[in-house]
Amino acid sequence: MNNSLSELKSILQTRFNNSADLSIRYISLRSDQKITAAVITIEGMVDKEELAQVAVNGLLAYDFKSSNANEAFNIMLYSVLASSDVTSFSGFADFSGIEQLIGYITSGFAVFAIDGVERMIAVGAQGYAFRSVSEPESEVVQRGAREGFSEPLRVNMSLIRRRIKDPDLVFEQVTAGEKSKTQIMLCYLQSAVSQKLLDKLRKRLDNCDLETVLASGYLTEYLEDPHTSRLFSGVGISERPDTVCGKLTEGRIAVIVDGTPAVIIVPRLFVEEFQGVDDYSNRTYYASFIRVLKYLSFFISIYLPALYTALAQFHPEYFPTWILIKTANSLSRTPLPVTLEALAVTFVYEIMKEAGLRIPKSLGHAVSIVGALVIGESAVSAGIISSSTLMVAATAAICSYVTSPLYPPVTVLRFGFIAVGGILGLWGIVLATALVLISLCSKTSLGVPYLSSISPFSLRAMRDVFVRSSWRSLSKHTIKVQNFAETEEK
């Protein structure tokens, strides 16, 4: 390549297939040498007003006098361009230089090139529209910040940096997606993170062979440990900067994907599914009560329909007499066996839940009315389902929302336990529980045991598992994930 702007324009138009949003504007610099420069941008990705203020206006007004092309380039780089985000690179050098140029302009940079000069200048002047910082709807808290991550990568980085003003906080940039070239930031505290975990994460991202990465969910399967249970996830997701910052101080690694507000946190432990931001804002006794309530709700959502089905079909003698009479009278008026009845009610509830998520908000009240009155009350009055089965299924469904991050595995387990309880009774539920425990104990997240703090057991870590100790106790010794990782390696 002979460093010619006309050849560069031809190459870019060929690479972009003459796309209408590719903009290449020529500028004649004020110089005795008749120097020609070009501004290369993508329409809609650059703030034109900011670009004019920090670069173009000053470039047109500056008198380069008798400077040659290379001297003019250095003057532009060090004296004329007023932006704080200025980078030079060898754009004309080879094929990789053109790829670097394409990466800059597709990320919202404006690239300045001078005819006959090998190097180019990238100026940060991003101006694409994005959603403002707001409270995430999926992680609502009573106390704490009302800020949530947004879609732009740089905005999300600033939300973390505002909370951790330590130079030990590192942002490491990688790219994923053969076609999308999605920017990804690995965020960690250098003094807290385990280098072995960090190396594993880098290797798995390098092995990602996706063509496009449009959301953080695309990467979760690649970050999971192979040959382990996929029912529970060893990859955490959060839209709250304070939650991510808290995990970083424990030695976790945050993976920020450009274009999505959901930040990945690895490794993820089972006990963290029952922890929330409000736990650390409330008084110790109340936070511990809520923590215990979450564990009870988790077990109720899985076991209550299964136990009801098993006892009603195989072990009615375990019911108290007054409950047995009412349950028997209710079930005797329905056409379906209790197992099929429980499965049907649970299945219909899942359909209603999906309908409520997908339809417009204006129709949400109609769905709730139809579900509560028509499908619920009318079905009981018509004798299609029993009132006791409906109450058990509804209670389990409500409890599943207490631990919303575990909703997918809880839903699958609920169906499985109902079927096993209806076929094998209580012994089937015990057998299924053993299989789930074996699966949990064998699961790892980046090599860290998923049941860490419980298995392998750590007495010190139990201060923040089933109950939460006071901040005076928690602040003395921070439990870091790298401690579990080092123990596992030994």
* 324, 316 Cβ separation under 8 angstroms: yes
Checking if the pLDDT of 27 tops 70, the result is yes
Give the contacts of 271 (CB within 8 A, at least 6 positions apart): 451, 452, 453, 454, 465
Q: Which of 212-226, 279-293, 361-375, 392-406 has the lowest mean pLDDT?
A: 361-375
In this structure, the dihedral spanned by the alpha carbons of residues 421, 426, 427 and 431, taken in order and rounded to 10 degrees, is 60
What is the structure's pLDDT at 132? 77
Q: Give kind and range of the element (H or E) at residue 263.
A: strand 263-266
Distance between CA atoms of 72 and 69, rounded to whole angstroms? 5
Q: Which of 15-24, 404-413, 463-472 has the lowest mean pLDDT?
A: 463-472
* 219, 259 Cβ separation under 8 angstroms: no
Q: Which residue shows structure tokens 């101006």?
A: 127
The helix/strand/coil state of 412 is helix
Distance between CA atoms of 471 and 467, rounded to whole angstroms? 12
Checking if the pLDDT of 305 tops 90, the result is yes
Q: Which of 27-36, 192-201, 209-218, 376-385 has the lowest mean pLDDT?
A: 376-385
* Band (486; pLDDT cuts 50, 70, 90): low
The helix/strand/coil state of 136 is coil
The helix/strand/coil state of 138 is coil
Pair of tokens at residue 73: 């380039």
Reported as a single tens digit per residue, the pLDDT across 466-482 is 888 877 777 765 566 65
| Backbone torsions φ then ψ of 43, nearest 5 degrees | -60, 135
Reported as a single tens digit per residue, the pLDDT across 228-243 is 777 888 899 999 998 9
Checking if the pLDDT of 287 tops 50, the result is yes
Higher pLDDT among residues 206 and 363, named by residue: 206
Distance between CA atoms of 310 and 45, rounded to whole angstroms? 60
Reported as a single tens digit per residue, the pLDDT across 98-134 is 888 888 898 888 999 998 888 899 998 887 777 778 7
What is the structure's pLDDT at 216? 87
* Band (430; pLDDT cuts 50, 70, 90): very high
What is the structure's pLDDT at 265? 93
Distance between CA atoms of 263 and 309, rounded to whole angstroms? 40
In this structure, the dihedral spanned by the alpha carbons of residues 42, 44, 46 and 50, taken in order and rounded to 10 degrees, is 140
% of the chain beyond a pLDDT of 90? 23
| DSSP-assigned states of every residue in 334-401 | -SS-HHHHHHHHHHHHHHHHHHHHHS-GGGHHHHHHIIIIIIIIIHHHTTSS-HHHHHHHHHHHHHHT
| Backbone torsions φ then ψ of 183, nearest 5 degrees | -80, 135
What is the structure's pLDDT at 490? 45
The pTM of the full predicted model, rounded to 2 decimals, is 0.80
* 343, 358 Cβ separation under 8 angstroms: no
* 394, 371 Cβ separation under 8 angstroms: no
Q: For the chain, what is the mean pLDDT?
A: 84
The helix/strand/coil state of 109 is strand
Pair of tokens at residue 15: 């690479």
